[in-house]
């Protein structure tokens, strides 16, 4: 049996069409064009690609965007001054500080400086807290993309055992909270594994839905997957073979019932959810 491919690229394209209509309606009703300000510090090549993709996606959806590029040796206070300026700018509804930041800058301090109402990444402690309490203002983009893939492909989560490999603040932890939330898109039993988990394979083999977000190329192999499980691969690793996920796709697709590819899986959905958050930010700030 070969798994059904969960085509994030196609789904993202469909959703961006829906979003563009919502942006048009919003403008017609409020004369406001949602605007995203992206901040890129330094020249990390992967970050450059991500930020460019986000800007192109904004443009196609009718969302305005501006990019603030700062040198890698920018002082933390200068970055904070920029964020303060963007916080006060009424034309800017969403602020995104691309991570990772250079080592001399405190990521925690910077993320805390973003106005929580404009925090379309949902990284600010206030937005993290609201999510944990089950009443989110914004959903973080990658976990939200994963949940949307499951929802649109009608993969039920209620009562399922979902194993998340990876405990990052960007993916593992918020996704676990979302899938635990009461309701049709949650109500799962969630296990979060990480680098210190003993016998990872024993746990992943019990997963009805396995989410890979560890950042290690092809680490999850077919033997670690229960036959018929749904596999969602959040990993994007640059290797000599090009982009590969955290799952060994060729082996896994023979055992899983559904699987996301890399690329064309979760990645395009992350950008799409950022666009939805930017429209949501404009809505919240309009009234």
| Close Cβ partners of 220 (under 8 Å, ≥ 6 residues apart) | 165, 204, 210, 212, 214, 231, 233, 246, 247, 248, 252
Query: Which tokens belong to 125?
Result: 């402690």
Catalytic residue, from 121, 208, 233, 248: name it. 121
Residue with smaller CB distance to ligand GUN, 83 or 225 = 83
Catalytic residue, from 35, 98, 119, 233: name it. 98
Q: How far is the CB of 247 from ligand GUN (least distance, A)?
A: 18
By beta carbon distance, the residue nearest ligand GUN is: 99
Q: How far is the CB of 111 from ligand GUN (least distance, A)?
A: 9
Residue with smaller CB distance to ligand GUN, 236 or 252 = 236
Residue with smaller CB distance to ligand GUN, 142 or 278 = 142
Q: How far is the CB of 120 from ligand GUN (least distance, A)?
A: 9
Q: Is 25 a catalytic residue?
A: no
Q: Is 54 a catalytic residue?
A: yes
Residue with smaller CB distance to ligand GUN, 229 or 281 = 281
Q: How far is the CB of 121 from ligand GUN (least distance, A)?
A: 5
Cα–Cα distance between 127 and 117 in angstroms, integer? 9
Residue with smaller CB distance to ligand GUN, 74 or 98 = 98
Site residues for ligand GUN per CB under 6 A: 96-99, 121, 141-142, 170, 270
Q: How far is the CB of 267 from ligand GUN (least distance, A)?
A: 10
- Active centre residues (catalytic): 54, 98, 121
């Amino acid at each position: 049996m070969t798994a059904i491919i969960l085509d994030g690229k196609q789904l993202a394209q469909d959703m961006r069409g829906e979003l563009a209509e919502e942006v048009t309606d919003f403008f017609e009703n409020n004369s406001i064009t949602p605007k995203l300000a992206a901040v890129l510090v330094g020249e990390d090549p992967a970050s450059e690609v991500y930020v460019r993709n986000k800007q192109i996606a904004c443009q196609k959806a009718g969302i305005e965007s501006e990019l603030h590029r700062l040198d890698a040796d920018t002082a933390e206070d200068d970055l904070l001054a920029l964020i303060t300026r963007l916080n006060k700018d009424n034309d800017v509804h969403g602020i995104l500080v691309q991570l990772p930041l250079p080592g001399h800058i405190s990521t925690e301090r910077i993320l805390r400086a973003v106005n929580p109402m404009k925090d379309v990444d949902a990284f600010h402690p206030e937005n993290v807290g609201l999510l944990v309490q089950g009443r989110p203002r914004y959903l973080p983009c990658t976990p939200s993309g994963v949940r949307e893939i499951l929802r649109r492909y009608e993969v039920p989560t209620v009562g399922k055992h979902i194993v998340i490999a990876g405990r990052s603040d960007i993916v593992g932890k918020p996704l676990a909270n979302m899938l635990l939330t009461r309701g049709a898109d949650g109500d799962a039993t969630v296990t979060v594994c990480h680098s210190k988990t003993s016998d990872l394979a024993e746990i992943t083999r019990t997963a009805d839905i396995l989410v890979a977000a560890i950042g290690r190329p092809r680490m999850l192999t077919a033997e670690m997957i229960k036959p018929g499980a749904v596999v969602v691969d959040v990993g994007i690793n640059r290797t000599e073979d090009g982009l590969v996920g955290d799952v060994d796709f060729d082996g896994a697709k023979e055992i899983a019932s559904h699987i996301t590819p890399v690329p064309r899986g979760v990645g395009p959905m992350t950008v799409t959810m950022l666009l939805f958050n930017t429209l949501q930010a404009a809505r919240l700030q309009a009234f």
